[in-house]
Amino acid sequence: MYAKKYGKTIKLFLMDADPEGRMVCEISNWNGKAYRIPRSDVKNCLNRYDLQATAVYLLFGRAESSSTKAKVYIGEAENVYSRLAQHVSEKEFWTEAVVFVSKDETLNKAHIKYLESRLYEIALFAERYNIENNNRPTKSLISESDQAEMEEFIEYIKILVNTMGYKVFQPLVARRLSAKADEAEYFFLTGPRGANGKGKRTADGFVVVEGSHVARETTDSFPTGLATLRDELIESGVIVKRGQLLIFSSDYLFSSPSAAAAVMLGRSANGLTQWRNVKNQELKAVESAELVQADGAFVNPGPEPLQVASSGQ
C-alpha cells in the first residue's frame, strides 16, 4: 500500500509585478521560503532582511546546445546576499538563483551544510544537470531529529524547484521497485541498420534509455534538423560507437516520441506508431485506450433530484 498524497498550496508573490523578475514562493504549513532571483536583480535585494541570513541556494545556467545539459551550482552561506553578489562577479555561467531560507530563522550553519551536501547527492544521482561545484560538499554531523527535519525540508525544496521548472533533482526515468510494473511502462522500437531501442513517456517528453542502439547510417531524406541533433549527440558522447554499433551512453530526453524514433531509425518517423509496448501495441493505441478508460471511470452524478415539499395534508 502506498501512503496517500495530499495536494499542496503554493503561494507565489511577484516582487516586481513581473513574471520574469524576482519571486517569493511559499508552501502552506512549511517554515521555509524560496526566492527566485534573476542574476540582474541581485543588486536589488540588499534591503531584504531575510536574505542577509543563513541559506542554501542553487545557481542555474542554460545548456549550451540541445545535446548538452543545463548547469547548476549548489551552495550555502551565512549571508546569502553577500554570497550571491560575490558570484555575480566571479561566476559567469548562471542566469538565475533560487535561495531557500527559514521563516523562523532556525537554520544554522550545520543545517545548511547538511542541506548542501544532500542536495548535491540528489542532483548527482538525477543526472539532469552538469554540476558546477569544484568540490563535493562535506556533510555536517547533526542529530537524528535534526536530520529528520532537514530531510523534510529537502522534500519541500524539491517541490518548489520543480514547480519553478528546474528538474535538477528528478531523474529522467524513475525506476520502480517492481521490475514487472516498471517494464510495462516502456516502449520498444526496432528497425534496419541496427536500430533497437527502449523508451518511456515522461512529463517532459520521451526518454530513450541508456543502451539503446541507433541506426548506423541515415537515409538521404533524413530531415536536416534531426540530422544536426544526431550529430551533436554523437559529438557530445551521448551516442557512442562500440564496434559496429551506435549506442546511447546515457538516458536522453527528446521533445517527442517522433523525434526520438527519427534519431533512432535515421529517417523520418511517426513515433506514435513506431514505438510499441510489451504487448506490441502502438503508442498511439495505448494513449487512446487510456483516454477511453479515464472517460469510463468518470461518473457524472447529474443534477440533484428535485425535492418536493409536502403540503402537510
pLDDT at 24: 96
Res 5: pLDDT: 72
Contacts 24+ apart (CB under 8 A), 143-149: 146/110, 146/111, 146/114, 147/114
H-helix segments, the chain? 80-90, 109-126, 144-163, 179-183, 224-235, 257-265, 271-274, 283-297
b/e 211-240 (16+ beta carbons within 10 angstroms → b)? ebbbbeebeeebeeebeebbeebeebebbe
Q: Identify which has the larger pLDDT, 154 or 63.
A: 154
Residue 267, C-beta contacts closer than 8 angstroms, at least 6 positions apart: 215, 218, 219, 221, 222
Residue 175's pLDDT is 59
Mean pLDDT of 261-283: 94
C-alpha cell at position 74: 549548489
Q: How far apart are CA 56 and CA 40, in angstroms?
A: 20
Identify whether the C-beta of residue 192 lies closer than 8 Å to the C-beta of residue 184: no
Mean pLDDT computed over 185-192: 93
Q: Of all residues in the chain, what percent carry a pLDDT higher than 70? A: 89
Q: How confident is the model at residue 184 (pLDDT cuts 50, 70, 90)?
A: confident
Q: How far is CA 110 from CA 106, 136, 151, in A?
A: 11, 16, 14
3-class secondary-structure state, position 252: strand
- The structural domains of the chain, with segments of one domain joined by +, span 10-163, 179-295
Q: What is the pTM of this model?
A: 0.77
